[in-house]
Structure 1
Amino acid sequence: MIEIYYVEDDVDISCAVKEFLGQQGYKVSVFSTVASAKEALASMCPTLVLVDWNMPDGSGKLLVQWIRLKWKELPVIFLTVRGDSCDIVSGFENGADDYIVKPFELEVLLSHIKALLRRTGDASRQYLSCGSLSIDLKKMSVYNGTEEIGLSPSEYQLLLYLLQNKGKTITRRKLLEEIWDSCGNYVNDNTLTVTMKRLREKLHQPVCLKTVRSVGYRMEEPE
C-alpha cells in the first residue's frame, strides 16, 4: 500500500484529504507539527510526503531540507497559499518535487500524486531505518542521523540483515550462517562478537540495536 505522510496543522483540510485519499486506496498519516513529522520520518520512510508551507513550529521548507539530508529521492509535494509563490521557487531549490496552491480540488491533488509517483516510483523501498540509523540500499550508504558512516563489508551486511528483520530477535547462529557461511567463509563465534563491537562503535552505540543475552540481537525502534 502507498503510504503518505501529510504535514498539515489545519484539521479541516487534513481530515478531508485523509478521507479522500483513503477512499482511493492510500494510507495517510497526518502530522500537525514539524516535530512530530520528523519523529515519524526518523523511524520509517513513507512513499510520499505532503508538506504545508507554513507550520506552527517551523517552515515546511526547512522540513524538506531536513528530509533531503537523509532521503534524497523521497517524493515531496508542497501545499501552499498563493501569496507564498515567490518562496516556492526557493523551496524547489531545496528539494521539493511539486506544489499545489490552496485552496485546491481533491481530484487535482490526486492527479499530482499519481503523476509524481509515475516519475519516481516507490522510493521508500530504497531505504531501511531504525531510530536514527538508516541505509540507502541503492547507494549502499549508511547514516546515523545525517552523518554518513563508513562500514566494512561484513559490518554492512550485519546491519543490513538486522534492519531487514527489524523487530525480530536473530540468533547468533543465524547471523553467522547468513552473513559468513552463505559466502563460503566459515568463521567462529568470536568473529560475530568482534564485528558487532566494531559496528556499534562506528554507529555511536545506537539504542535501537539491542543485545538479547545468550541468544542474539534485535533491531527495535526506541520508545
Structure 2
Amino acid sequence: MKILLAEDDARLRKNIGYILNKDFHHVVEVNNGQDALDNAIAEWYDLLILDWMMPSLSGIEVCQQLRNAGFSGGILMLTAKDDTADVIQGLDSGADDYLVKPFKMEELLARIRSVLRRKEKAIEQIIEVEQLQLHIDSRSVMRNNVEIKLTKNEFLLLEYLFLNKGRVLTREQICTYIWGYEYDVSNNSLDALVKLVRKKVDASQDKSYIQNVRGIGYKLRECYVS
C-alpha cells in the first residue's frame, strides 16, 4: 500500500512513518498541507493520512480540494478536535474516517485497515511464524489451531514483532506501538510484558520466539524467521 502522511508534528510523524514503513506500507511524509496536496495530485496514493491543523493548507482544505478533483483513495483525518460538529465537518469534507489525538498506534493501524478494506484493498490478515499463527482481524494467536489467551498489550507486543519479523525494534518503538506516542511507562514495564508473553507462547524454555537485543530492544529470533 502507498500512503501519504501529512503531519507537522515531527515526533509524531516520525513514529507513524516508522511503524507504517516497517509494517506493510510504503510511506511518503510531508509536514504541510500544500506539499500534501501537490503530492496527491502528482501521483496515486491508496491512503492519505492528514493532520487537521497544518501550515499552508489545513487537512480539511486538502481533503476538499482532492475530492473535488476526483481523488477516490482513502482519507484518514488526524485531529485534536473531538467535538461532534468538528467530526461531522471532517467527514463531510470527504474524509473516510478520523482519529482523535492522542491515540495509540494500534488504533491507528486498525483505522487504516478499516479504510483500506472499504476501498477493497487486500491486506495480509494472518501471519505465520513456525507453529504460531497471528490473526490480525480477530486479534488472536493460535498454536496448532489452539488459541493462546493473551491480554490486549500482550497481543500488541507479539503483533508488532510479527509485522516486523527479521528487524530489530527499539524499546521506544515498541512502547509507542503498545502504549501510544505519549506513553509514560518504564523499561521494567516492557521487560515484564515480554516475560509474560514468553511464558505463554514459547514451546521451549531453551529457545524463545522473542530475542533480547542488548542495549537496543527486541526482535523475533532469526531461527523462527523465514
Q: What TM-score, normalized to structure 1?
A: 0.52
In structure 1, what is the equivalent of residue 5 of structure 2? 6
Over residues 4-55 of structure 1, what are the superposed CA-to-partner deviations in whole Å (9 max), with x where a residue is unaligned? Answer: 0011100000000000111212111111111111221121010100010001
Structure 2 CA distance for partners of 1:84 and 1:11, relative to 1, 3 Å: farther
Deviation for aligned residue 1:121: 2.1
Rg: which structure is higher? 1
CA contact (8 A) 2:90 2:98 kept: no
Q: Distance in 2 between matches of 1:44 and 1:98?
A: 22
In structure 2, what is the equivalent of residue 86 of structure 1? 85
For 1:56, give the aligned amino acid.
Answer: P
In structure 2, what is the equivalent of residue 101 of structure 1? 100
* Match runs of 1:149-188 below 5 Å: none
Q: Distance in 2 between matches of 1:85 and 1:3?
A: 30
Structure 2 CA distance for partners of 1:8 and 1:85, relative to 1, 3 Å: farther
CA contact (8 A) 2:76 2:99 kept: yes
For 1:50, give the aligned amino acid.
Answer: I
For 2:48, give the aligned amino acid.
Answer: V
Over residues 68-112 of structure 1, what are the superposed CA-to-partner deviations in whole Å (9 max), with x where a residue is unaligned? Answer: 022342110110013555222112112111000001111110011
SS where residue 114 of structure 2 aligns? helix
* Match runs of 1:1-223 below 5 Å: 2-83=1-82, 85-122=84-121
For 1:51, give the aligned amino acid.
Answer: L
Structure 2 CA distance for partners of 1:73 and 1:34, relative to 1, 3 Å: same
CA contact (8 A) 2:46 2:74 kept: yes
Query: What is the total number of aligned residue pairs between the two structures?
Result: 122
Q: Distance in 2 between matches of 1:102 and 1:115?
A: 18
Structure 2 CA distance for partners of 1:5 and 1:84, relative to 1, 3 Å: farther
Q: Distance in 1 between matches of 2:107 and 2:95?
A: 18
For 2:19, give the aligned amino acid.
Answer: F
Q: Distance in 2 between matches of 1:67 and 1:105?
A: 28
SS where residue 9 of structure 1 aligns? coil
CA contact (8 A) 2:81 2:87 kept: no
In structure 1, what is the equivalent of residue 144 of structure 2? none
Over residues 156-178 of structure 1, what are the superposed CA-to-partner deviations in whole Å (9 max), with x where a residue is unaligned? Answer: xxxxxxxxxxxxxxxxxxxxxxx
For 1:97, give the aligned amino acid.
Answer: D
Structure 2 CA distance for partners of 1:72 and 1:29, relative to 1, 3 Å: closer
Q: Distance in 2 between matches of 1:6 and 1:72?
A: 16
Over residues 163-215 of structure 1, what are the superposed CA-to-partner deviations in whole Å (9 max), with x where a residue is unaligned? Answer: xxxxxxxxxxxxxxxxxxxxxxxxxxxxxxxxxxxxxxxxxxxxxxxxxxxxx
Q: Cα RMSD between the aligned structures?
A: 1.7
Q: Distance in 2 between matches of 1:4 and 1:14?
A: 13
Over residues 106-159 of structure 1, what are the superposed CA-to-partner deviations in whole Å (9 max), with x where a residue is unaligned? Answer: 11100111111111124xxxxxxxxxxxxxxxxxxxxxxxxxxxxxxxxxxxxx
For 1:39, give the aligned amino acid.
Answer: D
Q: What TM-score, normalized to structure 2?
A: 0.51
Runs of 4+ in 1 over 2 A off after TM superposition: 70-73, 82-86
